[in-house]
A and B are shown apart, each in its own frame.
Chain A
Amino acid sequence: MKCRINMMLKQCCLLAIVTTLAFMPAAHAKGEWWLFTDVTATKRDLPPSLVGKMEELDFSPSVALFGNLNKGDFQVLFGGVISDDEAEIERLQLGWNINPTNTLWFGRFHNPFDYWTSKFHHGLYFQTSQLRPGSVEFEDEGGVMPLHLSGFLLEGLYPTRGMGGIRYDLALGVGPSVGNSAAGSVLDAPTALSLFEKRREHKLAATAKVAYLPDAVAEEELGLFISRVVIPTEELVFIRGDITQTSVGVFGNWQYERIQLFGTAMFMRHEQNVSVLNQSGSEFMRLNMGSGYIQGEYTLTPRWRGYARLESTRGAENDPYIQSFAMYIKKRQLLGFRYDFYHNQALKMEISRAEHQHGDDAFNAVSLQWSALFR
C-alpha cells in the first residue's frame, strides 16, 4: 500500500510538472474536470468454496476523477479512482495532436483492444451495466488480460466516403506482471512511470485495433484487434519464465432505434513454461482458449433501459495461467435495468449468475448501484 501511494505521488508529480511545462507559456489552456461517483451494494449467494474469498454482502463506494486539459496541439488526460480498497491513477496520458485526425499519447492508458476497453473507462455512469465482462475486467478485479499499458498510443480516424470513417489504435509499451493475492494470481498493471523503472517487472506489450464506423459521429462500429504481451511470472511457482499472451478478436456495436447490440469474440493463446510435478525443469505449453460476450440493450422509455449479457470462456480449463486466476469469471449471465434521472445520475439493478474457474463455484448475485457524473 505504501509502495502504491509512493508510486501514485510520483505520478501526480509527473502530471504536475508536465502540465506546468506544457501550459505555462500561455494562460489559455482549456480543460475540464469531471467527477464520477458511484455506490454499489451487492448481495452474493456464495458457495462454500468462495466464502472468505468474496464478500457475501458488499457495499462499495468509489469516486473517479477525470481531467482533460487542452492547449494547442497538446493535451493531458487524467483518470484517477478512489474507492474503499484502492486509490490509483488509472490513466495519465500526455497527448500530442500530430494532426487533427491523429494523436500520439504517452503515459498510462487503457489497452485499446476490444470495444469495451475503449468506450468505458473508470467511472461507471456511462457504462449501462454495473459489471464489466470478465474478459475485460480490470487487473485488480481478476482480469487475465492487460487493461492498462504504459508507453505510447497512436489514435487516429481516417474519413471514408460519406459520414464514415476508419478508427485505428496502435499501442506500444509495457504491460503487467503477475502477482499473488489472497484470492489467487492478480495482474500488477504498469504505472505511467513503469517505462523508467525496473524493466524486468514489466515487459513488452503491443496492441493494434482497427474499426470501421459507418457514421463517424455515431456509435456503430465493426472492428478487429490483435494484441501481444509478455507477462513476467516471477510470483508464480508453477510457471517458469514469462508468459506470452497473444489475443485476436473481433468486436462490433450495432444500434437501431431502441435496440443496441454489441460484443466481442476473441481468441487467446498463452505460451508458457509450466513446471512439471516432481521433476526439475519445465514443459513448454501453447494453450488456446476462446472468450467472448454479447450484450443487448433496449430503451424501454426515455429513462428506463433494460440490458442482458452473456459471457463465456472455452478452453481455459487446461491453461495454468488462467487457472491461477481464481477470481476470473469463466461464464456469466446477467440481466439488469437502468434508470436515468436528473440528466446526470443513474440507478442500476442487476442480477447475475457467474461461474469462476471451478465449475462448482457458480453463484448468484443481486446488486444495486447509484452512479453519477458531476461536471
Chain B
Amino acid sequence: MSILGLHKPSWLLLIVLWLLTSSTAFADTRSLVLVTSETSPALELSGKEIRWLFMGLPVVKAGQRIEPLINATTPLVYEVFLQKVIYMSAQNYERRLVVRAFRLGGRRPEKYDNQVTLLRNLRENPNAVTFMWQDDAQRQAKIKIVTELWSGKIK
C-alpha cells in the first residue's frame, strides 16, 4: 500500500527522522558569553569580577566603571546566567539587588526584557556589558564577545 507515492517503510523512516531531529529529543551544546560594544576597549573580567559586577558592586577597568545590563529576554538565558554566574534564584537575586540599593544607594543593574533595547543600550555605552548566547552574539553587529561564561548541553 502506498500513500502519496510512499510505501510504509518510507513513512516509518520519515517519522523516526522527525522524532530524532526534534529539539526535545536532543540536547544542544550552547555557550553563554559576556558581550560588550565593539567600541569598548579591551576588557578582561574574572569570574569574581563578573559576579561582583552583576551583584551591583563596583568594578572599574581602565578607569571606567563597568555597567552591567541584565539580559532577561528569554527565561532560559536568564536562568543559565543565574545558575552559572550568580548561584541564586531569580527572586533572591533581585531581592539582593534591591536591598543593596536600599542600604547604600547607587545603581542597580538594569534588567531588559526586550532584546532590541538591550542591544541598543549596549552599543551606545562602551562601558556596558551583558550576557547572551554565543550564536546570538555572533549574529549581532557591532558587539563583541568578552569572555565565555559557560558552555554546556541544554536539552
Interface on A for B, CB 8 Å cutoff? 30, 32, 34, 66, 68, 70, 75, 77, 93, 95, 97, 99-101, 103, 118-119, 121, 123, 126, 155, 157, 159, 162-163, 165, 216-217, 343, 373, 375
> Which residues of B lie under 8 Å from residue A75 when comparing CB positions?
105-107
Q: Is the CB of A126 within 8 A of B99?
A: yes
What's the Cα separation between A163 and B107 when bound, in Å?
A: 20
Main SS at interface, chain A:
strand
List residues of B whose CB falls within 8 A of some A CB. Answer: 48, 51-52, 55, 57-60, 65, 91, 96, 98-99, 101-108, 110
Q: Which of B51, B65, B102, B105 contacts A100 (CB 8 A)?
A: B65
- B64: min CB distance to chain A, Å: 9
Q: Is the CB of B96 within 8 A of A217?
A: yes
Taking a contact as CB atoms closer than 8 A, the residue among A32, A97, A103, A163 that contacts B51 in the complex is A163
Q: With A99-B60, A100-B65, A101-B58 in contact, do A217 and B101 touch (Cβ < 8 Å)?
A: no
In the complex, what's the smallest C-beta–C-beta distance from B139 to chain A, in angstroms? 29
Q: Which residues of B contact A97 (CB under 8 A)?
A: 58, 106
Given contacts A68-B105, A375-B98, contact A163 B48 (CB under 8 A): yes
- Can you report 7 residue pairs joining A to B where beta carbons are below 8 Å apart? A30-B107, A66-B102, A77-B105, A93-B105, A157-B57, A163-B51, A217-B57
**Chain B nearest Cβ from A102, distance in angstroms:** 9
Smallest Cβ distance from B93 to chain A, in angstroms?
10
- B103 — which chain A residues lie within 8 A by C-beta? 118-119, 121
Closest 6 CB pairs of A and B: A100-B58, A217-B55, A77-B105, A100-B60, A100-B65, A70-B107
Q: How far is the CA of A97 from the CA of B103 in the complex (A)?
A: 15
Q: Kindly identify which residue among B58, B60, B102 contacts A126, using a CB–CB cutoff of 8 Å.
A: B102
Give CA–CA (A166, B13) in the complex, Å. Answer: 64
Cα of A373 to Cα of B102 in the assembled complex, Å: 12
Determine how close the nearest CB of chain B comes to the CB of A31; give it in whole angstroms: 9
C-alpha spacing A75/B101, complex, angstroms: 12
Rounded to whole angstroms, the CA-CA distance of A118 and B103 in the bound complex is 6
Chain A residue nearest in CB terms to B60? A100
Chain A nearest Cβ from B50, distance in angstroms = 11
Report the bound CA distance from A165 to B55 in whole Å: 13
Q: How many A-B residue pairs have CB under 8 A?
A: 59
Q: Which residues of chain B have C-beta atoms less than 8 A from A32's C-beta?
A: 101, 108
* B52 engages A70 (CB within 8 Å): no
* Chain A residues in 8 Å Cβ range of B48: 162-163
Q: Which residues of B contact A93 (CB under 8 A)?
A: 105
Please determine whether B105 and A95 come into contact, CB atoms closer than 8 angstroms. Answer: yes
User: With a CB–CB cut-off of 8 A, which chain A residues contact B104?
Assistant: 103, 155
**Do B105 and A216 touch (CB < 8 A)?**
no
Q: Chain A: which residue is nearest B104 at the CB level?
A: A155
* Contacting residues, chain B, for A95 (C-beta < 8 A): 105
CA of A343 to CA of B93 in the docked complex: distance in angstroms? 13
Starting from the known contacts A34-B102, A100-B65, 19 additional A-B residue pairs (CB-CB under 8 Å) come to A32-B108, A68-B101, A68-B106, A77-B105, A97-B58, A118-B103, A119-B103, A121-B102, A121-B103, A123-B102, A126-B99, A157-B58, A159-B52, A216-B52, A216-B57, A217-B52, A217-B55, A217-B57, A343-B91
Give the shortest distance, in Å, between B140 (CB) and chain A (any CB).
Answer: 24
Option from B60, B91, B106 in Cβ contact (under 8 Å) with A70: B106
C-alpha gap A159/B51 in the complex (Å): 13
Q: Are B51 and A217 in contact (CB under 8 A)?
A: yes
Question: How many angstroms from the CA of A182 to the CA of B51 in the assembled complex?
Answer: 52
Kindly state the separation between the CA atoms of A205 and B91 in the bound complex, as whole angstroms: 39
Task: State A34–B102 Cα separation when bound (angstroms).
Answer: 9
**Which residues of chain A are near B65, meaning CB under 8 Å?**
100
Cβ A103 vs Cβ B96 within 8 A: no
Let me know if B107 and A100 touch, CB within 8 A.
no
Output the least CB separation between A77 and chain B (Å). 4
Measured in the bound complex, the distance between the Cα atoms of B126 and A295 in whole Å is: 45
For the complex formed, measure the closest distance between the CB of A159 and the CB atoms of chain B, giving whole angstroms: 8
Query: How far apart are the CA atoms of A155 and B108 in the complex, in Å?
Result: 17
Q: How far is the CA of A216 from the CA of B51 in the complex (A)?
A: 10
In the complex, chain B residues whose CB is within 8 Å of the CB of A100? 58-60, 65
The smallest beta-carbon distance between B10 and chain A, in angstroms, is: 53
**Complex alpha-carbon distance, A62 and B36, angstroms:** 44
On chain A, the residues within 8 Å of B60 by CB distance are 99-101
Enumerate chain A residues within 8 angstroms of B55, measured Cβ to Cβ.
216-217
- A34 vs B95: C-alpha distance when bound (angstroms): 13
CB distance from B102 to the nearest CB of A (A): 6
A99 to B91, CA, bound (A): 30
B131 to chain A, nearest CB (A): 17
Considering the chains assembled together, what is the distance between the CA atoms of A121 and B105 in angstroms?
12
Bound CA–CA A100/B104 (angstroms): 13
